[in-house]
Amino acid sequence: MGYWVHPADGWVNVGNQYRLKDLMKRAEQGDRLTLAFLGGSITQGSVSTQYTNCYAYLVYQWFVRRFPKTAFTYVNAGVGGTTSQFGVSRVEEDVLRFKPDFVIIEFSVNDENTEFYKETYEGLVRKVYGNLYEPAVLLVHNICYDTGISAEEKHREIGAHYRLPSVSMKPTVYAEVAAGRIPNREITPDDLHPNSSGHELVAEVITDCLDKIYMHRFEEEEPYPMPEALTANAYEHAVRHRNYNSAPVCSGFTADTVPEKYVNDMFRCGWTASEKGACITFKVEGTEIAVQYRKSVKQPAPVAVAVVDGNEADAVTLDANFDETWGDCLYIDTLAHHIAPGQHTVEIRLTQTHENDAVPFYLVSVISA
């Protein structure tokens, strides 16, 4: 490729490195270790020519080469087009059940730079950092290469609060693109997703920082205890209600019993409906409620509404027609935020169908926290 960035500039928060140093010491002893990567389409490896060319796998390979005595398990839990609001609700099932020793969290181009996503991101960070098995956590901030837009500002506030090592592409790869030293089309086709060459640069920034920790792994450092939450932190205990762990009242909605084969097989374990007036009703606990459904490129598709506690005035429209062309979207709509705690009713019903609907309405899950 021939392009070079200064990876050392990638540290935006050196943080407390106790867990990472401990991880490396255990790796030198030949322990079996699990490396997990949680994020959106960049973590998933979108646009890289094959999965072994994505940054996550390249970081995994760094561990394999650096610690040849250790058997590493690789867990890629990247799901394209999803945010930390969804990440915190699925991290238990997709990451933490594997008892990871190391977790990279990457959502800075999926989240918006708002207080809302600062709170959902904090819930995710607390859920991972506070896990019983105490994994080492590294935050990675990607960026849009045309605008420089990301949620890094809000995410860095969380990283600093928890003293988590954090790495950014803004002062490294993006800085070179913005200066004209790296043509953007050499590393990304759409200014969002790195191609294989772009993934190499992202991995280089991350592994250079890991190299520096490795060189100082024997320098003593005390573990950093879990601090009080920085936000209202209503999302740390988010739960997904799917057809195998909930019992909603269904009228015209049918459970999809095809098993989910892999982490990106997202349109599974939900419910479908095709007739106008079909209705499904959940009882959920919490102060936060969201709904996930499929927006489809195959059109026309049905339209539904979601109503919380019978409040029709605040009904949210769930339009399954997707106005993009890249593929069906796992869409999430927030129905309630910081409402009164307790049990709430969520009703979803189809309000518009067509004789020639290309697909049924697909409800993936209801999320409560």
**Looking at residue 130, which CATH number applies to its domain?**
3.40.50.1110
Kindly state whether residue 117 falls inside one of the protein's structural domains: yes
Query: Mean pLDDT over residues 137-153, rounded?
Result: 97
CB atoms < 10 A from the CB of 295, how many?
20
Distance CA 123, CA 236 (A): 4
Kindly state whether residue 96 falls inside one of the protein's structural domains: yes
| Domain, as residue range, for 313 | 239-368
Kindly state whether residue 270 falls inside one of the protein's structural domains: yes
357 pLDDT higher than 60: yes
194 pLDDT higher than 60: yes
Q: Are residues 162 and 56 in the same domain?
A: yes
SS3 215: helix
Q: Are residues 11 and 128 in the same domain?
A: yes
Q: Are residues 44 and 186 in the same domain?
A: yes
Kindly state whether residue 223 falls inside one of the protein's structural domains: no
pLDDT band for position 261 (cuts 50, 70, 90): confident
Question: Last residue of some domain: 174, 199, 215?
Answer: 215
Q: Are residues 258 and 131 in the same domain?
A: no
Summarize pLDDT for 16-62 with one digit per residue, the tens.
999 999 999 999 999 999 999 999 999 999 889 899 999 999 999 99
Question: Last residue of some domain: 153, 182, 215?
Answer: 215
Distance CA 155, CA 134 (A): 21
Distance CA 113, CA 87 (A): 16
The answer to whether 367 touches 123, Cβ cutoff 8 Å, is: no
Query: Mean pLDDT over residues 269-276, rounded?
Result: 97
Asked, as a colleague might, if the bond just before 300 is cis with ω within 30 of 0, I would say yes
Kindly state whether residue 233 falls inside one of the protein's structural domains: no
2-11, 23-32, 83-92, 337-346: lowest mean pLDDT where?
2-11
79-93, 97-111, 251-265: lowest mean pLDDT where?
251-265
Q: What is the CATH number of the domain that holds 254?
A: 2.60.120.260
Kindly state whether residue 234 falls inside one of the protein's structural domains: no
Q: Could you tell me what percent of the chain has a pLDDT over 90?
A: 92
pLDDT, residue 183, reads 95
Kindly state whether residue 346 falls inside one of the protein's structural domains: yes
Total domains, the chain: 2
Q: Are residues 36 and 103 in the same domain?
A: yes
pLDDT, residue 138, reads 98
Q: Are residues 178 and 314 in the same domain?
A: no
Kindly state whether residue 168 falls inside one of the protein's structural domains: yes
4 pLDDT higher than 60: no
Q: Are residues 108 and 146 in the same domain?
A: yes
- Average per-residue pLDDT in the chain? 95
Length of the chain measured in residues:
369
pLDDT band for position 148 (cuts 50, 70, 90): very high
pLDDT, residue 8, reads 56
Q: Are residues 64 and 206 in the same domain?
A: yes
SS3 241: strand
User: The tokens of 351 are what?
Assistant: 């309000």
Residue whose pair of structure tokens reads 């995994």 in the numeric block: 60
Summarize pLDDT for 278-308 with one digit per residue, the tens.
999 999 999 999 999 999 999 999 999 999 9
pTM to 2 decimal places: 0.96
Handedness of CA 64, 70, 76, 77 (dihedral sign): negative
Q: Are residues 132 and 245 in the same domain?
A: no
Q: Are residues 28 and 115 in the same domain?
A: yes
